Chains A and B, each alone.
Chain A
Amino acid sequence: MTATRPSARSGVDRPAGPSPLRRLLPGAPATAGPRGSTLLRHLAVAVLAGTLVVLLTNQLAPYQNLQVARVCAFLCVTAGYTVLVGLNGQLSLGHGALMATGAYTVALVQRGFDERGTQGRWILPLSLVAAVAVTALAGLVIGLAAARLRGPYLAGVTLAVATLVPAVSTIFTGVFNGEQGLRFPAETPPAFLGAYFQPERWLAWIALLAALLTVLLLANLVRSRFGRSLRAVRDDEVAARLAGIHVARTQVLAFVVSAGCAGLGGGVYAVLTATVAPGKFPLELSLFLLMAIVIGGLGSLAGAVWGAVLLVALQDLPSLLTETFSLPSGLAQRLEGNLALAVFGLILIVVMLVAPGGLHGAFRTLAARLRARRRAPEH
Chain B
Amino acid sequence: MDRFLFLTFGGLSTGAVYAAFALALVLIWRAARLVNFAQGAMAVATAYVGYAVAAATGSYWVGLGAAVLAGLLLGALVERVLMRFVGHANPLNEVIVALGLVLLIQAVLGVVFGNGYRPAPAPFDTDALTVRGVAALSPYDLWVLGAVLVVVVLLALLFTRTPIGLRMRAAAFAPEVSRLLGVDVGRMLTLGWALAAAVGALAGMLVVPTGLGLHPHAMDLVFVVAFTAAVVGGLDSPAGAVVGGLLVGLILSYVTGYLGPDTTPLAVLVLLLAVLLVRPGGLFSSARARHV
Contacts and interface: CB of A to CB of B under 8 A. Distances in A.
Are A and B in contact, CB atoms below 8 Å, in the complex?
yes
Given A171-B263, A341-B103, A356-B93, 8 more contacts: A155-B95, A156-B224, A159-B37, A160-B268, A163-B268, A167-B265, A283-B217, A345-B102
Given A85-B92, A159-B37, A349 B104 contact: yes
Interface string B246-285: 0000000000000010111110110011001100100000
Contacts of A91: 92, 95-96
B161 interface: no
Contacts of B99: 93, 287, 290, 348
Interface stretch (B4-12, B43-51, B107-115, B162-170): B107-115
Interface of B: 34-35, 37, 82, 85-87, 89-93, 95-97, 99-108, 110-112, 114-115, 217, 220-221, 223-224, 227-228, 231, 260, 262-266, 268-269, 272-273, 276-277, 280, 290-292
B265 A163 contact: yes
A47 interface: no
B35 A338 contact: no
B220 A163 contact: yes
Given A167-B262, A171-B263, A342-B111, A356 B90 contact: yes
Contacts of B262: 167, 170-171
A304 B221 CA distance: 29
Given A91-B95, A163-B224, A344-B103, A153 B231 contact: yes
Report which residue of B228, B264, B268, B276 has the largest number of chain A beta carbons within 10 angstroms of its beta carbon: B276
Interface stretch (A15-23, A25-33, A106-114, A142-150): A142-150
Contacts of B100: 291, 344-349, 352
A89 B95 CA distance: 12
A155 B273 CA distance: 12
B269 A341 contact: no
A334 B114 CA distance: 6
Report which residue of A91, A156, A170, A287 has the largest number of chain B beta carbons within 10 angstroms of its beta carbon: A156
Contacts of A347: 100
11 contacts: A145-B276, A156-B224, A171-B262, A338-B107, A338-B111, A342-B103, A345-B102, A345-B104, A345-B107, A352-B87, A356-B90
B111 A167 contact: no
A7 B289 CA distance: 40
Nearest to A155: B95
Nearest to B106: A341
B233 to A, nearest CB: 14
Contact of A148 (B92, B260, B263, B276): B276
A313 interface: no
B277 A145 contact: yes
A335 interface: yes
A262 interface: no
A167 B276 CA distance: 22
A287 B34 contact: no
Contacts of B110: 334, 337-338, 341
B269 A151 contact: no
Report which residue of B89, B97, B291 has the largest number of chain A beta carbons within 10 angstroms of its beta carbon: B97
A346 B292 contact: no
Given A338-B115, A348-B97, A171 B266 contact: yes
Nearest to B36: A152
A290 B89 CA distance: 18
Given A342-B103, A345-B104, A348-B103, A163 B221 contact: yes
Contacts of A283: 217, 220
Nearest to B115: A337
Interface string A319-355: 0000000000001001101111110111111001100
B97 A156 contact: no
A290 B100 CA distance: 9
Nearest to A347: B100
Interface in A285-338: 287, 290-291, 294, 331, 334-335, 337-338
A345 B276 CA distance: 29
Contacts of B105: 345
A59 to B, nearest CB: 34
B97 A151 contact: no
A362 interface: no
Contacts of A294: 96
A170 B265 CA distance: 11
Contacts of A163: 220-221, 224, 265, 268
A48 interface: no
A334 B103 contact: no
B227 A156 contact: yes
A151 B107 contact: no
Contacts of A338: 106-108, 110-111, 115
Contacts of B102: 287, 345
A284 interface: yes
A155 B104 contact: no
Contacts of A170: 262
A157 interface: yes
Contacts of B89: 356
Given A164-B269, A168-B266, A346-B104, A148 B95 contact: no
A190 B254 CA distance: 54
A152 B101 contact: no
Contact of B35 (A85, A149, A156, A335): A156
A342 B273 contact: no
A161 interface: yes
B111 A334 contact: yes
